[in-house]
A and B are shown apart, each in its own frame.
Chain A
Amino acid sequence: MLDTLIFSLVVAVAVGVSAGYLGSIMVLEKMALVGDALSHVALPGLALGILFGFNPLVGGFVFLFVSAVLIWHLGRVTKLSFETLVGATFTLALAIGILLFGDNLDALEEALFGDITQVGLTEAVAAVLISVAVISLTKLIHRKIVLGLISEELAISKGISIARTNLLYLLLVSLTVAIGIQITGTLLVGFLVVTPAAAAKIVSTNLSRYWTLSAIFGAISAVSGILLASYFNVVPGPLVVISGIIIFVVAIIIRRRLKITS
């Protein structure tokens, strides 16, 4: 039991840091709901994993990955926004996922809300390795994305390929969401991408503080959610969300008290 808690906390730190950091870009891109909706795309993959006896998280990641590439490609072809395309894709995925789960309601509940009792050494090591890879790759592209947000022309004139950068970014989000599902489930994992970054943004006047605080708030939300869930013996997802919302409210108070403008 203690082992499971320790492994869960390791996964929580890994997921919280990478989701917070990646989410900081998503919040700047005004794509917060994209992260949330994208997480549901994993559902059919999780169902296939359970049906055919392979690791559901691998199935979830494959579905996220394929959907991200599809969304990226359709965005280029149709010029529709990511939000529109993710909106269409995630409802389809949700529908297929629910059909595939059929009457296996326990498994569906686990996929939707997460189950930390399944987290072992392998999952913890995988989460740390994936998180390190995600953070390293995000560091390579975060400035490019910000420059593209400030002015697409400036970015292109500096030789930055916005389409390629966006694709890599979507793939990194897919990876992070796939490992985050263990803690919060598909229903709430989007929260870890959105709220810590939103809280960090309202108390930040520069990018380095914003990125650092997003990662820290993500980790605190995830870890405190797990600890509280362990103490009250409930699923951690909702408590991760409540912890994150408390951080968000405190950030608003700090902003008002310190009269932070950014």
Chain B
Amino acid sequence: MTTENTNDNYILNVSNLTVEISNQPILDNLNFKIKRGITLAIVGPNGAGKTTLFRALLNLVPYTGKIEWNGKMKIGYVPQVLSVRDIPISVREFLSFKNESESDIKAVLASVGLDSEEVVDKGLATLSGGQTRRVLIAWAIVDKPDVLLFDEPTSGVDLDSEEAIYGMLRSLTAKNEITLLLISHDLHIVREYSDYALALNKCLVFFGESKEVMHPATQKLIYGEPICKEYGDIHA
């Protein structure tokens, strides 16, 4: 279960985290710690357990081991897939599920680079992929979280918008001192926009500075046969 830790250096301390679904290990004995305010990218091949790690951090799946947040954390979460196609819901209505203040909604839309007057009354299903991701980021930060978990921030977005969205995420998290954990498949993006990378392949196979992910040796660790490592004393 999630418990609190008094050690101020770390915002999150994960130890011996294991998740099994139908007796199949999805995550096996993860150990890592991260510091406040960093951006940590979670990488790994398909089925490596990246989204499951987020689900465990959010207490959405049963697990064994320990997930210790440092104090009461407000955690924002943005899933990869939203089913809005068949729902007549406006951007204003969507954001008001979390925060009903009109001025906060306008401010948060402006902060993610959207023209509030133009989009606030539009149907969520009518927005472009890039606009939708921006609204999702607005959704995640509108109640001022301490930690943001973002699953594939730019899925369904063209390349030009992708860079813009990551740039915006970086400035938003720096300005608001948000610790960002993001899942990404794109190692170039990981190198450019995150401080540290954590690679999963059921177990932890790499944990280090993001600039290292482009090294062939690191890529072999990430995408090769899994060689599980203990990173309990190494931290980001």
Interface residues of A (CB under 8 A from B): 28, 30, 143, 146-147, 149-151, 153-154, 156-158, 201, 204-210, 261-262
Contact = CB atoms under 8 A, between A and B. Distances in A.
Of A28, A157, A158, which is in contact with the most chain B CB atoms at under 10 Å from its CB?
Answer: A157
7 contacts: A143-B97, A150-B87, A151-B82, A153-B79, A206-B88, A207-B89, A262-B125
Contact of A146 (B89, B92, B123): B89
B186 to A, nearest CB: 22
A157 to B, nearest CB: 5
Contacts of A30: 86
Contacts of B58: 153, 156-157
B87 A153 contact: no
Nearest to B92: A206
Nearest to A200: B88
A153 B88 contact: no
B75 interface: yes
Interface size class of B (residues with CB under 8 A): 20 to 34
B217 interface: no
B90 interface: yes
In order of increasing CB-CB distance, the 7 nearest A-B pairs are A206-B90, A262-B88, A204-B88, A262-B123, A157-B77, A153-B79, A205-B123
Interface of B: 55, 58, 60, 75, 77, 79, 81-84, 86-90, 92-94, 97-98, 121-123, 125-126
B60 A146 contact: no
A150 B88 contact: no
Nearest to B75: A157
A68 B110 CA distance: 45
B58 to A, nearest CB: 5
Contacts of B55: 153
Nearest to B57: A157
A4 B84 CA distance: 45
B77 to A, nearest CB: 5
Given A150-B83, A157-B75, A205-B123, 19 more contacts: A143-B97, A146-B87, A146-B89, A147-B97, A149-B87, A150-B87, A150-B94, A151-B82, A153-B55, A154-B77, A156-B58, A156-B60, A157-B58, A201-B88, A206-B88, A206-B92, A206-B123, A210-B88, A262-B125
A32 to B, nearest CB: 12
Nearest to B76: A157
Contacts of B60: 153, 156-157
Given A157-B60, A262-B126, A150 B90 contact: no
A207 B88 contact: yes
Contacts of B75: 157
B97 A207 contact: no
B54 to A, nearest CB: 9
B77 A206 contact: no
B87 A205 contact: no
A149 B86 CA distance: 10
Nearest to B121: A206
Contacts of B122: 205
A150 B126 contact: no
A262 B60 CA distance: 31
Given A157-B75, A206-B123, A207-B93, A28 B81 contact: no
Nearest to A205: B123
Contacts of B84: 150
Given A147-B97, A156-B60, A157-B60, A205 B79 contact: no
A222 to B, nearest CB: 23
Contacts of A201: 88
A162 to B, nearest CB: 11
Nearest to B84: A150
A116 B116 CA distance: 51
Contact of B93 (A153, A156, A208, A261): A208
A8 B212 CA distance: 75
A156 B83 CA distance: 15
A133 to B, nearest CB: 24
B83 A151 contact: yes
